[in-house]
Chains A and B, each alone.
Chain A
Amino acid sequence: MFEYCANPDTLDGLAWLSCYLTTGKHLSFYTSFGTVLVLLAITAPVALGFGFGGAAMARSNVTPARWIGKTYIAIVRGVPDIAFFMFFVIALDQGFEYLRHQAFCPDWDQPIRQGNDFIVCSEAKLPLSTSPQWVHEIYGFFLAVLTFAIVFGAFAANVIFGAMNAVPKAQIETAGAYGMTRRQTFWRIIVPQMWVYALPGLSNLWMVLIKATPLLFLLGVEDIVYWARELGGTKHQRFTDYPHGDWRMWYFLVLLVFYLGFTKVSEAVLDRLMKRLSRGQATAGGEALRRAAA
Chain B
Amino acid sequence: MSCVQTIADYGLRSIGIGERLLPTTDFTLCQQVTLIGSGMIWNIYFGVLALAAGFLLATAVALGKASNNVWLRKPSEWFVFLFRGSPLFIQFFFAYFLFLSLRSNIEFFEPFTAAWLGATIVLFLNTSAYASEIFYGALQSIPKGESEAADAYGFSGFNKFRKITWPTMMRLAWPAYTNEAIFLFHATTLVFFSGFPAWRQQGDALYYASYFADKTFNPFVPYPILAGYFILLTLVVTGLFGVVNRHLNRHLPNESRSKIRYRPKLLR
Q: Which residues of A does B touch, CB under 8 Å?
A: 76-83, 86-87, 90-91, 94, 113, 116-118, 155, 158, 205, 208, 210-215, 217-218, 225, 228-229, 232, 246, 248-249, 252-253, 255-256, 259-260, 263-264
Contacts and interface: CB of A to CB of B under 8 A. Distances in A.
Which of A87, A155, A212, A259 has its CB near the most chain B CB atoms (within 10 A)? Answer: A87
Given A82-B206, A90-B213, A214-B89, A249 B100 contact: yes
A251 to B, nearest CB: 8
Nearest to A89: B219
A259 B223 contact: no
Nearest to B190: A82
Nearest to A90: B219
B241 interface: no
B209 A83 contact: yes
Interface residues of B, number: 45
Given A80-B186, A211-B267, A225 B93 contact: yes
B218 A225 contact: no
18 contacts: A78-B234, A79-B230, A80-B187, A81-B186, A83-B189, A86-B219, A116-B216, A155-B264, A212-B87, A214-B89, A217-B89, A225-B89, A248-B93, A248-B97, A249-B98, A252-B97, A259-B90, A260-B85
B97 A246 contact: yes
Contact of A260 (B86, B89, B219, B267): B86
Interface in B143-198: 186-187, 189-190, 193
A290 B11 CA distance: 63
Q: Is the interface of B mostly helix, strand, loop or mixed?
A: helix
A226 to B, nearest CB: 11
Contacts of A212: 87, 267
Nearest to A232: B97
Nearest to B27: A116
B268 interface: yes
Which of B82, B227, B267 has its CB near the most chain A CB atoms (within 10 A)? Answer: B267
A156 B29 CA distance: 35
A208 B78 CA distance: 19
Contacts of B122: none
Nearest to B189: A80
Contact of B266 (A155, A214, A229, A255): A155
A117 B217 contact: yes
Contact of B215 (A76, A82, A116, A225): A116
B267 A208 contact: yes
A259 B97 contact: no
Contacts of A248: 93, 97, 100
Contacts of A256: 86, 90-91, 94
Given A83-B230, A249-B94, 4 more contacts: A82-B206, A215-B89, A229-B93, A253-B94
A252 B25 contact: no
Contacts of B266: 81, 155, 205, 208
Given A91-B220, A155-B266, A83 B86 contact: no
Contacts of A90: 213, 217, 219
Contacts of A228: 93
A210 B85 CA distance: 10
B101 A260 contact: no
Given A212-B87, A249-B98, A83 B218 contact: no
Nearest to A158: B264
Nearest to B266: A208
A238 B99 CA distance: 27
Contacts of B219: 86-87, 90-91, 94
B51 interface: no
Contacts of A253: 94
B98 to A, nearest CB: 5
Contacts of B209: 83, 86
A216 B88 CA distance: 14
B100 A259 contact: no
A253 B91 CA distance: 9
A246 B101 contact: yes
Contacts of B210: 86
B205 to A, nearest CB: 9
Contacts of A113: 218
Nearest to B101: A249
Contacts of B264: 76-78, 155, 158
Q: Which 10 A-B pairs have the closest CB atoms?
A: A80-B186, A249-B97, A263-B85, A211-B87, A252-B94, A87-B223, A214-B89, A90-B219, A79-B227, A248-B97
B267 A118 contact: no
